[in-house]
Amino acid sequence: MRFRPCIDIHNGKVKQIVGLSLKDNNGASVAEENYVSDRGADYYADLYRQRKLNGGHIILLNKKGTKEYEQDLVQAKEALNAYPGGMQIGGGVDASNAEQMLDMGASHVIVTSAVFKDGSINYENLKNISYVTGKERLVLDLSCRLTGDDYYIMTDRWQKFTDERLSIGLMIHIGKYCDEFLVHAVDVEGCAEGIERDVVRLLGESNNIKATYAGGINSLEDIEELELLGNGKVDFTVGSALDLFGGSLSFEELAKRYE
């Protein structure tokens, strides 16, 4: 179990937002903000590098093709220059730009919408991007929301449901194309009100799946519960609750605890 740090970028700034609040409104991307940093993404990447925390992720929260996405990309480049090979990158990634992201210094690219296209798995897209990156440099984002008794994978910056249910069977099936999974529990993402326990339990069920959980962590007690429910196998990331981003959970304490 490892602590994986994060850098979320929206409208060209490092932010922490409430995940479900992210919307496109008359051509603008808006979100409920928990924290907006006055520092660039390179500051955080260099901090993670100094503490030898690798395998974290940079997420671009704007829609690909917009000027705001290009602003996000500028920040991401600076972060990857500060910590080459130390962080993954996601947001608007597909087979057309995955190689560019890796050449910028990302260890892996993170993909959702290009693979879970129009509500289901597009195997042609999955195979194409896995071919471009190599299995060992691809992360599939299985961000999910609860509907009824099951969790379903979300796309388009957590705004659209797919027909694909999060399950061990699904992860084993598509795991042959990727190195690991990133799973945001969207209902609690950015809320810092506790973890989505059933998601963590599910991720901890298999010995052969590498996964990082994100969403709702607010305290060391949450992390200890995550370790227990995930059988010590599920990595985690913390956003809004960290003192780096205006919260009360000590980054330094976490870095020391999980170095």
Q: How far apart are CA 224 and CA 203, in angstroms?
A: 15
Average pLDDT over residues 200-209: 90
Residue 187 has pLDDT above 90, yes or no: no
- Tokens 């937002």 found at: 17
What is d(CA 102, CA 76) in angstroms, rounded to the nearest whole number?
Answer: 12
Tokens 């080459």 locate to 84
Do strands 160-165 and 150-155 pair parallel, antiparallel, or not at all (unpaired)? antiparallel
Ordered DSSP codes for 42-88: HHHHHHHHHTT--SEEEEE-SPTTSHHHHHHHHHHHHHHHHSTTTEE
pLDDT of residue 20 exceeding 70: no
Residue 35 has what pLDDT?
85
- What mean pLDDT value characterizes the chain? 91
Phi, psi values for residue 41, rounded to 5°: -65, -30
pLDDT of residue 30: 65
| Beta strand 109-111 pairing with 138-141 | parallel
Tell me the per-residue pLDDT of 46-73, one tens digit each, with 9 for 90 and over.
999 999 999 999 999 998 999 999 999 9
**Three-state DSSP state, 187:** helix
The residues, ordered by sequence, that sit 6+ positions from 87 with a Cβ below 8 Å of its Cβ are 7, 45, 48, 54, 55, 56, 57, 58, 79, 80, 106, 107
Look up the pTM and report it. 0.92
Q: What is the pLDDT of residues 146-155, one digit of tens each?
A: 999 999 999 8
pLDDT tens track for 78-133:
999 999 999 999 999 999 999 999 999 999 999 999 999 888 999 999 999 999 99
- Cα 204 vs. chain centroid, distance in angstroms? 18
Q: Which of 233, 229, 232 shows the shortest CA–CA distance to 216?
A: 229
Query: Are the C-beta atoms of residues 42 and 18 closer than 8 Å to each other?
Result: no
Among 99-103, 107-111, 159-163, 236-240, which is the least confidently predicted range?
A: 159-163
